Amino acid sequence: EPEVTQTPSHQVTQMGQEVILHCVPISNHLYFYWYRQILGQKVEFLVSFYNNEISEKSEIFDDQFSVERPDGSNFTLKIRSTKLEDSAMYFCASSENDSGLAGVDTQYFGPGTRLTVL
Amino acid sequence: AQSVTQPDIHITVSEGASLELRCNYSYGATPYLFWYVQSPGQGLQLLLKYFSGDTLVQGIKGFEAEFKRSQSSFNLRKPSVHWSDAAEYFCAVGVYGGATNKLIFGTGTLLAVQP
C-alpha cells in the first residue's frame, strides 16, 4: 500500500540553525501539507501546497518557514532559524481529491519527524 | 470558528470490553469528519471518515463511528477492544472551501488497555 515517508525520523539542532525536513508524498497525490504537534498538544495545521504554490498557511507559518517541491517526488519544510519553541513532531500529509465532492479529500500522514531544538 | 473537542484525555478499558471515544465538533457547514490513530512512535493512521450518506461508518481494525448532526458528535466505537488498540486517537474535522483545505484536530484521547 502506498504511504507517505519522512526523513529524518529525529533531528536535533542548535537554536538559530536552519533545518530542512523531507517528505515523499504518495506518488499520484496532488495536495501536500505540513502539520506539527508540540509535545502534549494537539496536531496543528501549518501549510497546504498545491500546483507548486502555497494554498493556505496558518499564523504559525511565519517568514521563518518555507516549503518547496524541488522535484516530482519530494516535499520539504525549511525552518530558517530555529527557535526552542519549534521543537515538535512535524507531520507531512498528502491527498488526492478522492471523495467525488469538490475540494473534499482524505489526507494520508507520514510517520513524522521529531525536531528537537537545543 | 471550527473546533473539535475530545472530552476524555485518558481512558482505560479491559481487553475484550467495548469502547466508545467521544468527539464533538463545531463547524458551520457540512462537516467532513475523520478519526486517526497514533501508536507510540508512529504517524497518524486513518481509521475511518464520514463525508456523506450513511451516518454509521465502518473503518479498519473493527472500528465504527456514528455521525449525529443533532448532537454535533462523531463518536468512535469498538465492540471488543484488543491490547493492540492501545494508542492515541484523534478526531478531526475537514475544513474545505476555496483555497482552504485542512484538518482541525481535537486534543486526542489516550487509550490504555488492561489485560
pLDDT level of residue A96 (50, 70, 90 thresholds): confident
Strand A19-24 and strand A113-117: the pairing is unpaired
pLDDT of residue B28: 79
Mean pLDDT of chain A: 92
Higher pLDDT, A105 or B15: B15
Hey, is the C-beta of A75 within 8 angstroms of any chain B C-beta?
A: no
Q: Nearest by CB to A107, which of B41, B52, B103?
A: B103
pLDDT of residue B41: 74
Residue A83 C-alpha, separation from nearest chain B C-alpha, in angstroms: 23
**B59, B51, B76: which is closest to A95 by C-alpha?**
B51
Higher pLDDT, A49 or B28: A49
pLDDT level of residue A99 (50, 70, 90 thresholds): low
Mean pLDDT, consecutive 10-residue stretches, chain B (115 aa), reads 92 97 90 92 89 92 96 97 96 83 93 95
pLDDT of residue A28: 87
Cβ pair B46:A110 closer than 8 A: no
> Looking at chain B, which residue has its C-alpha nearest residue A100?
B51
pLDDT of residue B27: 87
Provide the grid cell at A100.
467525488
DSSP, collapsed to helix, strand or coil, labels residue B70 as helix
Residue A107 C-alpha, separation from nearest chain B C-alpha, in angstroms: 8
DSSP, collapsed to helix, strand or coil, labels residue A96 as coil
pLDDT level of residue A103 (50, 70, 90 thresholds): low
pLDDT of residue A98: 65
Higher pLDDT, B104 or A51: B104
Dump pLDDT digits (tens) for A1-16: 789 999 999 999 999 9
Q: CA–CA separation, A105 vs B103, rounded Å?
A: 10
* Cβ neighbours of A12 (radius 10 Å): 13
Q: Give how far Cα B24 sits from Cα of A105, A113, B93, B101, Å.
A: 21, 29, 10, 20
Chain B environment of A42 (Cβ under 8 Å):
90, 105-108
Q: CA–CA separation, B44 vs B15, rounded Å?
A: 23
Higher pLDDT, A29 or B40: A29
DSSP run (H or E) holding A101: none
Q: Nearest by CB to B51, which of A4, A35, A99?
A: A99
pLDDT of residue A102: 66
pLDDT of residue A100: 63
CA atoms within 13 A on the CB side of B41: 2
Dump pLDDT digits (tens) for A58-91: 999 999 999 999 887 899 999 999 999 999 999 9
Dump pLDDT digits (tens) for B82-112: 999 999 999 999 988 776 789 999 999 999 9
Hey, is the C-beta of B68 within 8 angstroms of any chain A C-beta?
A: no
Q: CA–CA separation, A75 vs B46, rounded Å?
A: 21
Cβ pair A4:B102 closer than 8 A: no
Q: Which residues pair with A115 in a beta bridge?
A: A11, A88
